[in-house]
Amino acid sequence: MIEVQNLTKTYGSGELEVKVLRSIDLKIDSGEFVAVTGPSGAGKSTLLYQLSLLDEPSSGEVFLDSIKTSELSQVQKTAMRLNMLGYVFQDYALLPELTALENVALLMLMQGHSREAAYKQAEGALARVGLSDRMHNLPSQLSGGQQQRVSIARAIAHHPTILFADEPTANLDSTNGHVVMQAFLDLHKNGQTIVMITHEDDYAKYAQRVINLKDGQIIEDSKVA
Amino acid sequence: MKSLPKLLKEYVFGFRVGWFLAVRQIRRSSKWTTALIIFIMVLTFLNLVVVSGLLLGLISGSFEQFRESHSGEVIVTSAPGRDYIENSPGLVSFLESHSQVKAFSPRYQTSGTILGTLTSLPRSNERPNQMGAAIKGLDPEKEALVTNFASSVTQGGMLDGDESGYMLIGANLLKKYSSFADANIPGLDLLADVDVGSRVRVTVTSKGGGTLIVKEFIVKGIVKSKVDEISTRVFVTGADLKSLLSINKEHFQEIAIRTEPSYAEALVADINGFMGSSAARTQTSLDAIPQFLRDIESTMGVLGNALSSIALVVASITIFIVIYINAVTKRKLIGIMKGVGISPAAVQFSYLIQAIFYGLSGSLVGLLLTFGVLEPYFKNNPIDFPFSDGILVVTPAGAAIRVAILIFVTIIAGYLPAKLIVRKNTLDSILGR
């Protein structure tokens, strides 16, 4: 599903060069729920950006579904993000002028679905995260936990092959954090491949596999019991 | 290389999502912000239309007054070097039978001197209180059917066709009322102490030549207008002037004709066809206006266009800034949209549609204000300029062209900032770098 070979990411050059990722090799199978952990500055988010095609590695290769992503154009990458990948951002990243339903339906509209089909699919996704009764609310009318669940619904509504989540619980209290993690767990049980960044062990435990990064290198890659 | 149908499909989906986003962003954004942007667009539109419209209106106002108070749509005058319109009775009959002629007012005209002080003789070193002027004889009833000349009577009353021995005198001939009274122009001696009720003495030369004819008139009213043909003339009834000049035939010097403005050119051709072009000078109202005034109109047009161009530049910068700020404040969201797979084209479309919405709304409100408020207002309350009553000149076609220009500028000014923001690196936008 995801294969990373000798992935390196460097910022700056010369004396100011900072190696954020150092020769990462990694393989994630279909249906896995992987948590990437590590202290601040370990390179967790940078790794996620490379895997999710939001950034380009300095060297090395990322294969998604056996596709060599370095050979894709920006337009092809955008299309791949639209059709294959799903994203959950730390700060929800919902469009404030769109209702929960509209936020979720947006990607399906972009895919070319009819308004009715997109809304129906969005309603289904919102129902899966327990927000059927809030679908016509604007983000400003929802709590942080509810907004993050809308964000999850948006990420899964178009049935992505891989779901990426960048510290999805960072802005939530403990109760809402566990609600969101439960949502991820439910998705995983239905076969969804998930790659999640977190720096909190409590939430990492929801995953079936934890990859621990430090100074841009994988120092531990273990299955959760 | 993408196939055309695939590219087209992407743009169609992009436009659909752009529309979806734009409609909701407009509908759910701050009402005050939307109102402010539309207000700016209204001002921009008015700047485009009203400034040039008023500049043109300064001159067009005088054209309109010339037509309304003096010439009618068509005016026939004596041919150059001739004393009167040849075959005047024939022309009158022709006009009476012409289906497109609504009314006409034949006028006599001669020149003479007006003596303002009859009771005492000037001292040896003083010039007499008199001045030369063109004297027109008209039929008040016929004149009322062609022009609004009667409304130029600002003091006293209008002439009556049944009475004799009365005159109207142009305000610019009188020291008391003339705009030039305090100008001390060499050679310009205005009549002093003449007002409504004054008795004046008119001296003209008989048509045969040589003989001086003198008659006294009572000033019945003062006529004041921005049209020189009124404010620097003396008016008596046609019957009075005809008897003064001992004319037996209807030898008119001027005939003002009322017809449909759209038929004016054709009527000139009809009259020329009937009379022959050498028998009289037949002109539309516009052609009868002095060339220098038309030159001023052209200059005002150029000036108006120059000011409009500046207004357009200001408008485009305004729209650019509005859209740019709007896009910059949403840079992170734009990055996220791109990140999750929304095409850059869709985001650009959304900003473009918003820009067009603001441009159209501003133009629509501007049109309503222009045609519903400003144009009628300036028509009823013209700007008082020394040589004309300034109105607002704006035509539906002219306004439509300006709307099109404004929308075009809006599209360019809306597209560029959206493009600038959208082309930024997606991750940099998401991370706010």
Task: Express each pLDDT in B275-294 by its tens digit.
Answer: 887 889 999 998 988 787 78
Would you state the pLDDT for residue B124? 66
Average pLDDT over residues B356-363: 90
* CB-count exposure of residue B122 (10 Å: 0-12, 13-18, 19+): exposed
**DSSP-assigned states of every residue in A89-119:** -TT----TTS-HHHHHHHHHHHHT--HHHHH
Distance from CA of A225 to the nearest CA of B (A): 33
Would you state the pLDDT for residue B395? 86
> In which band, very low, low, confident or very high, does the pLDDT at A29 lie, cut at 50, 70 and 90?
very high
> In which band, very low, low, confident or very high, does the pLDDT at B210 lie, cut at 50, 70 and 90?
low
CATH class of A31-55+74-223: alpha beta
Average pLDDT over residues B66-78: 93
> In which band, very low, low, confident or very high, does the pLDDT at B208 lie, cut at 50, 70 and 90?
low
Q: Using CA atoms, how far apart are residues A122 and B352, in angstroms rounded to an integer? A: 27
Which position has the token pair 């820009």?
A: B355
Average pLDDT over residues B299-322: 82
Average pLDDT over residues A81-96: 88
- Whether the CB-CB separation of B66 and B276 falls below 8 Å is answered with no
**A window 132-151, beta carbon within 8 A of B:** 138
The rounded percent of chain A whose pLDDT value lies above 90 is: 51
The rounded percent of chain B whose pLDDT value lies above 90 is: 33
Asked if B17 and A95 come within 8 Å (Cβ–Cβ), the reply is no
Q: Using CA atoms, how far apart are residues B376 and B173, in angstroms rounded to an integer? A: 33
Give ∠ CA A17-A14-A7 in degrees, rounded to 5. 45
> In which band, very low, low, confident or very high, does the pLDDT at B309 lie, cut at 50, 70 and 90?
confident
Letter for the amino acid at A179?
V
pLDDT for B98 beyond 90: yes
pLDDT for A56 beyond 70: yes
Nearest chain A residue to B339 by CA distance is: A54
Q: How is residue B311 written in tokens?
A: 């207004």
Q: Using CA atoms, how far apart are residues B407 and B363, in angstroms rounded to an integer? A: 9
Among B165, B220, B170, B168, smallest CA distance to B196 is for B220
Residues of B with CB under 8 A from a CB of A: 9, 13-14, 16-17, 20-21, 24-25, 27-29, 332-333, 336-344, 346, 426-427, 430
- Residue among A81, A93, A138 whose CB faces B341 most closely: A81
Q: Using CA atoms, how far apart are residues B40 and B317, in angstroms rounded to an integer? A: 12
State the greatest distance between any 2 C-alpha atoms of chain A, in Å, as a whole number. 56
pLDDT for B165 beyond 60: yes
The rounded percent of chain A whose pLDDT value lies above 70 is: 100
Would you state the pLDDT for residue A119? 95
Q: Using CA atoms, how far apart are residues B110 and B238, in angstroms rounded to an integer? A: 11
For residue A100, give every residue at least 6 positions away whose Cβ sits within 8 Å of its Cβ, in sequence order, or none. Answer: A94, A126, A131, A134, A135, A136, A137, A138, A139, A142, A150, A153
Please report the sign of the dihedral spanned by the C-alpha atoms of residue A136, residue A140, residue A144, residue A150. positive
Q: Which of A155-169, B122-136, B198-212, B252-266 has the highest mean pLDDT?
A: B252-266
Distance from CA of B421 to the nearest CA of A (A): 16
The rounded percent of chain B whose pLDDT value lies above 70 is: 94
According to DSSP, residue B192 is labeled P
Contacts of A85 in chain B (CB under 8 A): 341
Q: Using CA atoms, how far apart are residues B44 and B308, in angstroms rounded to an integer? A: 9
**DSSP-assigned states of every residue in B27-68:** HHS-HHHHHHHHHHHHHHHHHHHHHHHHHHHHHHHHHHHHII
Nearest chain B residue to A92 by CA distance is: B336
Distance from CA of A124 to the nearest CA of B (A): 19
Q: Note the Cα B177 to chain centre separation in Å.
A: 26
> In which band, very low, low, confident or very high, does the pLDDT at B170 lie, cut at 50, 70 and 90?
very high
Q: Using CA atoms, how far apart are residues B9 and B99, in angstroms rounded to an integer? A: 62
Would you state the pLDDT for residue B376? 92
pLDDT for B128 beyond 90: no
Nearest chain B residue to A98 by CA distance is: B24
SS3 of chain B: helix, strand, coil, percent, to 5: 55, 20, 25
Distance from CA of B397 to the nearest CA of A (A): 38
Contacts of A110 in chain B (CB under 8 A): 13-14, 17, 341-343, 346
Per-residue pLDDT tens digits for B30-61: 888 889 888 888 988 888 888 888 888 888 88
Per-residue pLDDT tens digits for A121-171: 999 999 888 888 999 999 999 998 899 889 989 988 888 889 999 988 887
Asked if B341 and A79 come within 8 Å (Cβ–Cβ), the reply is yes
pLDDT for B381 beyond 60: yes
Would you state the pLDDT for residue B207? 63
Q: Where do the H-state alpha helices sit in B227-263?
A: 228-231, 238-244
Asked if B341 and A78 come within 8 Å (Cβ–Cβ), the reply is yes
Contacts of A106 in chain B (CB under 8 A): 17, 20-21, 337, 342
